[in-house]
Structures are given as C-alpha cells and as structure tokens.
Amino acid sequence: MEKILVTGGAGFIGSHLADELLESGYKVRALDSLIEQVHGPGRRRPEYLSPDVELVRGDMRDPEAVEKALDGMDAVFHLAAAVGVGQSMYRIEDYVDVNCRGTAVLIEAIVKRPVQKLVVASSMSIYGEGLYRTVDGAAAPAAQRTIERLRNGEWELVDQAGRMLVPVPTPEAKPPSIASIYALTKFDQEKLCLVAGSAYGIPTVALRFFNAFGPRQAFSNPYTGVLAIFSARLLNGKPPLIYEDGLQQRDFVNVRDVAYACRLALESEDAACRSFNIGSGRSHAVVEIAERMSRMFGKEINPEITGKYRMGDIRHCFADISLAKAVLGYEPRVAIEDGLVELAAWLEGKDASDRVAEASEELAGRGLTI
C-alpha cells in the first residue's frame, strides 16, 4: 500500500494521522468539507495541514466527490463525522445524514473500486456506560442510571440492593448500550463498514477512540472534546463548566497515540474484521483534569460544578487496551502530563471564541439538561 485516503483528513485527528502516514513514507489524500463549526467562517485549508497532503474539498454524501477522492487510492481511513453528544440530541437529522448516509456513500464507492484496507473511526460512546462490577466482584454489564436518581443528584450507579457499583476497564466484549444519537451513528458507521467489508472481502478494522486530546482541536467548537472546551473557557478567563459532580471518569488519550494506533491497524495483517479500543488505558476524573489545566495555563480559576445532568452523558468509561496491545502492538507513548504541556504551549497566544454558555443554554432550553 502506498496511497492513502483519509476522510475528514483536514480535521483534528485526521491531520495528525496524515503526519504519521507521511513520516512512514505513504502518500496522503484528504477528503474534507471544511465545515464552519470546525474550520471557521473562512473554511480555508488549515495552516497545520501538511503541504504534502493533497486536499480534496467535498462532502461525504456526494457520490461524485467521494469517487473522485477514492480514485487511485490503496487504502481508506474513514474519520469524517459530525461530532458531539450534546448537539446530536437536537440536530438528529444532520448527524444521521452526515455519519450514516456519508458512510453508506463511501462503502458503495469502495465496492465499485475496492481497496486493500478500510479503517473506520468508531467511538467509546457506543458502550454507553463502561463496565462495572458489584462489590462482590460480579460483572454488571447492563448497568444503567435512572432519570429519578439523576434528578436527585445521585450520580453513581448502584445494584438492585442499592450498593454502589465499581467501574472497571471496559473491554471490546462489553455489549453496546447506546445513550445518544451520536453514539448510535458511530455504532452504525462501525457496523456498516465491518459488515460490508466482510461481504465484499475488504479487510476492515474499527477503532473505538476514547477521549482524544491535543493540538489542533477546534477549541472554539463547544461540542468538541472536553479538554478543548475547558481550554476555550480558561483562555477567556472563565471557569470550565462541568456537569454532575465532576468525578465521572474518562480515558484521555493523546492524539499522536491515536494516529500511531491508526497506522498500526493499517499495517497489521491480524486486525481485519475486528474492533479495538484505542485509549491510554488510564482513568482520570474530569474535575481533576480541569484543575490541572487551570494550573498549567497559569490561571487561578476553579471549575464550576453545575450539578446538572446532560441527556446522553454517561458516568464512567475508560479503556481496556489489552487487545490492541496484543494484536496491533499498540502501546501509548505520550503521558497525559506531557500531552497537557504540549496542548498549553500550542494554545499560547491564541484567541478562542467561547460559546460554551450559549451551547449550555441551547441544551437547557430544549429540556436536555436536568
């Protein structure tokens, strides 16, 4: 394989993946619509995108644009997607159209002109709640929170006897439990690619990304990754807004580790027809990360704990990455401390349009927070 197409290749993860591929000797073409929410009103080629990347501007839902971008390519990374749990709960048609129909258009184009490998970006969001165990050590794979408990500010999950469940690393074997429209579309993207790949003999891999962070994230987009949202608030001298009590646990993985895992999936002969968690393998409370970022930015700003629940959110989910280690040879290389230093350095001197409060009001006005 020599020539690689990356859909969404001008975006946050896509541009880092392009760098990883270029450094490994591949030729890279990016298909990207350069949407305003990510790339700003000018919708221009981002400065961070390597000049060695051939950029094709086009929409995933346009068969002609997709077929043009696919011409001459040996493999495809499908990263293009509308992203964001909160926004997906009220822009339902957009998310389904972009993520599901866009993927279907890509698959039909690949069927006409097969490639040697297809790697699709899935998401940890398909799990809903992560894996839990009871205090006795028994698995509780279908654990859920009730609206009644959430209204009362009882954030943790409990068993039928009312005993608190213990979150543990989530493996790929945990059944999906869809909690948002975004999660549903990512599950559809994963399954569309795996099913079609199997039917047409195209080696296909799904990578379930956990909470990726790092330079180039669209930190003026209030529906992007949580660390970028925190950054936008801090850069404007405002406290990060945190739902619930801030003790929810997540797996924050550096974007360069994500790009590295993508290349490993491309090059691994044993990865086909499988799904892999791509995370750091470590968990951190959201409030802990917000406080670290405040110190790193030189700000004495404590996060604001809202005590509210946002529809579609889950309590705890962090990755078991043992399968990716065993099959792909994946090993995270960037510690979160180093990643936060790099992020702070990249943000220094930048302006960020803080639309977080506006987005929160939008959700509240639609009854999507309680």
What's the rounded Cα separation, in Å, for the pair 16 and 197?
25
For the record, the structure tokens of 41 come out as: 């009103």
DSSP 255-278: HHHHHHHHHHHHH-TT-TTEEEEE
- Do the beta carbons of residue 145 and residue 157 sit within 8 Å? yes
- Do the beta carbons of residue 119 and residue 76 sit within 8 Å? yes
Q: Is 182 a catalytic residue?
A: yes
- Do the beta carbons of residue 232 and residue 352 sit within 8 Å? yes
Phi-psi region of 312 (alpha: psi -120 to 50; beta: other; left: phi over 0): left
Q: Dihedral of CA 123/127/128/132: which sign?
A: negative
What's the rounded Cα separation, in Å, for the pair 39 and 33?
10
Catalytic choice (95, 132, 182, 243): 182
- Do the beta carbons of residue 292 and residue 340 sit within 8 Å? yes
Name the one residue in this structure whose structure tokens are 């990754």: 225
Catalytic residue ranges = 182
